[in-house]
Amino acid sequence: MVRKLVRQMLTAQILSALTVSLCLLIDSIMIGQFLGEDAVAAYGLANPMLLAIGAIGSLLAAGIQVACSRSLGRGSQEETNAGFSSAVAVSAVISIAFMALVLLFSAPLARVMGAGKSDRLFEQTRDYLTGFCIGAPGSMGALVLIPFLQMAGQSGLLIVAVIGMTVSDIALDILNVTVFHGGMFGMGLASSLSYYVAMAVAAFYFLSGRCVFRFSMRGVTFRKILELLRGGLPAGVGMAASVLLIFALNRFARNWGGSGAIAALTVITTIGNAANCITTGVGGVSLTLAGIFAGEEDRTSLRELMGLLFRCSVPLGLCMGAALAVFAPAIVSLFIPAAGATQTMATLGVRLFALGLIPSCVNAAMKNMYQATDRALLTEGISVVEGAVLPVLAALAGHAALGLNGLWLYFALGEWLTVVCIGAYIRLRAGRWPWQDGAYLLLRPDFGVSADRLLEERMGSMEEVIAFAHRAEAFCAGLGQSARVSHHIGLCIEEMAGNIVQHGFTADKKAHHLSVRLMSKPEAWILRFRDDCGAFDPVSYVPKGDGDALGIRLALAIADEASYTYSLNLNNLMLKLPADLELKE
């Protein structure tokens, strides 16, 4: 089932990663085609501020994925709703404040970015900042709602939102340069309006009765906001490092090659950000699913997840890298139409960037998994080293060895060095090489339970359910449980899993999967049922008659605690059965 989840989520995550970069990519192409090379340089100088609002949105989005995936893993819909309410409220306040500040101080910010004081480059940088920041609430709102769309299984709507945003941005950019002649302000404003289009599409789900999340002002609490910020801090640190990196690289490019080098760097980073949608997609899947599996203390699924993501990283990186290497001249010409030194530098830079895509995917999977498993400091350390320290050192070393063209090694060399650093840290911390017995997971010793206290299986028929229930009885007896306790646990499995197979599997003509997990902990037995049938909450189900759903009622009577969530198009039921089972009256 993990394989199916990864396959379903990865495409949608990659597409959603384009939500921010796609508008910036389109803007950069239109700017290069219609406003000239100096305008591209101005756009590049404005980039750190554009990334800043993205950093705040990414911090919240990552906090949502960590906090809400854990609450879903624990089966707490109330906590998940509180996370949704708090995320929506705090993103609205922060984005509006950011918009107001940039509108008030666009001129000083342009000067800080290195645009000078009064020349054409300064004016274009200031104008683009002003137009783009108007869309800050839409941009941040899109980033915050994406993980909730993913958790609700609304990948199709997410794709529609991205398409709507892209089409509207292209149309508005064309209108700006052909009808309104709004210059750089108009280009930034076009992006702003397109983000609001994406928000409007997403609103069809979040304002509908089908939405599995419920907004409530009572759910907006200081405690939950802090939890979101803490959970997203590593991602925020990574984005802040990226802001500092672009700021430093812009300075290097201006000092070493002038505005032409800044324009080339802008093209390289813009194309690179779009290509890195595969990295962001891999990282997003890692963060969401690892958070759920960490909430369940499911070591087996964590290893399976990471193995799948590592294997996906290679073909994704190779395919995207090959596309960049082959089509670099044609892609760069979209941004820099005129042949010359700037176009040549950008083409070489894009090809060198492609060499770092495979390690970038691996690094994203690793650091997001560490974030989901409560190793925030490690994730923050990797983010700073990968996002700023090693790329800056690589740029300086490349320039010293190869001159200006050595600057373009910043990404590929930085990513490969990050892989080496992570591997060395694991070897030092775990005392084993990363690939030895899942050492790279760096899980705490008390995470989950040992293999001899865990029983799990996937099943697809009533015969398999009954067979597993009998094995569960023997498993419990083997751990010293009484025949009564063992029988009750086996009965609970047979009733709940049997209900899923008999009713959920036959509700349509699709093939379905059911996973049952039994874990023995000192204080209780934990039973988890997960299936991909239609949404059905057995905890809140109201029987139609005395004989209706008798098995469900019996299983819930045995359980001390029962929680249900529906996320990622999966039913997740968690039952906690005390060691001394007593039927509740």
Residues 299-320, mean pLDDT to the nearest whole number: 93
Average pLDDT in the 353-359 region?
Answer: 97
From CA 85, how far away is CA 60, in angstroms rounded? Answer: 12
What phi and psi, each to the nearest 5 degrees, are found at residue 361? Answer: -65, -45
Q: How confident is the model at residue 252 (pLDDT cuts 50, 70, 90)?
A: very high
Least confident of 210-214, 270-274, 485-489: 210-214
CB 462 within 8 A of CB 502: yes
Q: Residue 354: its pLDDT value, please? A: 97
Whether the Cβ atoms of residue 569 and residue 532 lie closer than 8 Å to each other: yes
Say yes or no to pLDDT of 259 above 90. Answer: no
pLDDT at 124: 92
User: pLDDT averaged over the chain?
Assistant: 86
- 516 forms beta bridges with 457, 529
**Residue 384 pLDDT:** 92
Whether the pLDDT of residue 210 is over 50: the answer is yes
> DSSP H helical segments within 296-433, as ranges?
299-335, 341-354, 357-372, 376-384, 390-402, 410-430
Higher pLDDT, 180 or 296: 180
Helix (H, G, I), strand (E, B) or coil at 561: strand
pLDDT(175) > 60: yes
Tens-place pLDDT, residues 405-445? 999 999 999 999 999 999 999 999 988 998 888 899 998 87
Q: Is the pLDDT of residue 470 over 50?
A: yes
Range from 167-181, 210-224, 318-332, 388-402 carrying the lowest mean pLDDT: 210-224
CA gap 87, 101 in Å, rounded: 21
What's residue 397's pLDDT? 96
The pLDDT confidence band at residue 585, using thresholds 50, 70 and 90, is very low
Instruction: Give the whole-number percent of the chain exceeding pLDDT 70.
Output: 94
Please classify residue 118 by burial: count the beta carbons closer than 10 Å to its beta carbon, then call 0-12 exposed, 13-18 middle and 19+ buried.
exposed
Reported confidence tier of residue 545, pLDDT bands at 50, 70, 90? low
Whether the predicted pLDDT of 513 surpasses 50? yes
**End-to-end CA, the chain:** 36
What per-residue confidence (pLDDT) applies to 584? 45
**Arithmetic mean of pLDDT, 396-406:** 95
Least confident of 108-117, 395-404, 465-474, 545-554: 545-554
Q: Where are the alpha helices (DSSP H) in 431-502?
A: 462-478, 483-499
Domains of the chain, CATH where assigned: 2-441 (no CATH), 451-578 (3.30.565.10)
Mean pLDDT along residues 241-249? 89
Q: Residues 560-581: pLDDT tens digits?
A: 888 887 777 788 888 888 766 5
Task: Please check whether residue 286 is in contact with residue 372, taking contact to mean a CB–CB distance below 8 angstroms.
Answer: yes
Give, in order, the Cα–Cα distances in Å from 526 to each of 24, 67, 78, 176, 554: 48, 21, 20, 60, 17
530: tokens are: 């997960």
Q: What is the length of the chain?
A: 585
Percent of the chain with pLDDT over 90: 37
pLDDT at 19: 62
CA distances from 209 to 122, 127, 204, 205, 388 (A): 49, 41, 10, 8, 44
Mean pLDDT of 133-142: 87
Q: Is the pLDDT of residue 62 over 80?
A: no
Q: Considering only 131-135, 320-324, 576-580, which range has the smallest mean pLDDT?
A: 576-580
The predicted structure's pLDDT at residue 300: 82
Asked whether residue 583 carries a pLDDT value surpassing 50, the answer given is: no
Q: Is the pLDDT of residue 23 over 80?
A: no
Nearest to 235 by CA among 392, 68, 409, 369: 369
Q: What is the pLDDT of residue 544?
A: 57
Average pLDDT rounded to a whole number, residues 292-298:
81
**What letter does residue 184 receive in the DSSP assignment?**
H
Burial 131-151 (b: 16+ CB within 10 A, else e): bbbbbbbbbbbbbbbbbbbbb
Residue 233 above 90 pLDDT?
A: no
Summarize the confidence of residues 267-277 as an average pLDDT: 91
